[in-house]
Amino acid sequence: MAAAQGRLSDGADGTNGTDNDTGGTQQAPLEAADPVPAPFRTAVDGLLSALLRPGVEIEPVRAPRRLAPFSYALEAAVVDGGDDDLADGRLVLLHDPDGHEGWHGAFRLVTLVRAELEPEMAVDPLLPEVCWTWLTGALQSRGLGYGEPSGTVTRASSHHFGGLAERPATSQIEIRASWTPREGPGGAPDTAAHLAAWCDLLCQIGGLPPIGPGDTSVVSLPQRRGPRTS
């Protein structure tokens, strides 16, 4: 498995950076105006040290600044061996040292995951419920404690007309969710394990089969005709 390392490049999010000589990642700046609390720094270090399955490419990006006093964000994509993505998403770690009433804790993980589907799959009435259980199941399969989960599962279809009529119809599934990770010794959650679980979800929605023990009951999406395009 590869470490949670990737490339930083100029982009729309304003993040800049390059790989160092050893192939590691230059850490994106912690989004904080005040000195960084030790639990948050430990949590970020956990994200950067996580071991992920092959096929997942991940990199730090600039985090939102208004959701919490401290934040850190990662973007990831599941690749098929070429330049195409099977699924992609973003995971944001939020921290409020004073705690947050809505979180019932001092940390919160927020995510967006999306992938392209076969159009006939998008009309399955059980698809949203199944996708939500992929998220909770990924956390539970790694024995992670969490609370206050919430989110939405959205499916959308696009049909093309006129000059675009030759393009095939496309369908996409999108999961937006957040949950409160249980804090461990020192006040920091096991963010490495939460990131690994999130990548399990990303691979699952991208159509890759599970690779861990005890995954025989997990239902995965079949491979699609092609990757999502933007």
- Give residue-wise pLDDT tens across range 192-208: 999 999 999 998 888 88
229 within domain boundaries = no
72 within domain boundaries = yes
210 within domain boundaries = no
Q: Is the pLDDT of residue 219 over 50?
A: no
What's the burial of 102, exposed, middle or buried (CB within 10 Å: 0-12/13-18/19+)? exposed
32 within domain boundaries = yes
Least confident window among 107-111, 124-128, 187-191 = 124-128
228 within domain boundaries = no
Chain length of the chain: 230
Q: Per 3-state DSSP, what percentage of the chain is helix, strand, and coil (rounded to 5)?
A: 25, 35, 45
The tally of domains found in the chain comes to 1
222 within domain boundaries = no
96 within domain boundaries = yes
Note the pTM of the prediction, 2 decimals.
0.76
- Give residue-wise pLDDT tens across range 123-182: 677 888 988 999 999 999 999 999 999 999 988 877 778 888 888 777 888 999 999 999
* DSSP code per residue over 29-85: PPB-SSPPPHHHHHHHHHHHH-EE-TTEEEEEEPPPSSSSSEEEEEEEEEE-SSS-E
Q: Which domain holds residue 45?
A: 2-205
Q: Is the pLDDT of residue 115 over 70?
A: yes
Residue with tokens 């999306």: 114
227 within domain boundaries = no
Q: Is the pLDDT of residue 184 over 80?
A: yes
- Give residue-wise pLDDT tens across range 46-81: 999 888 888 888 999 998 888 899 999 999 999 876
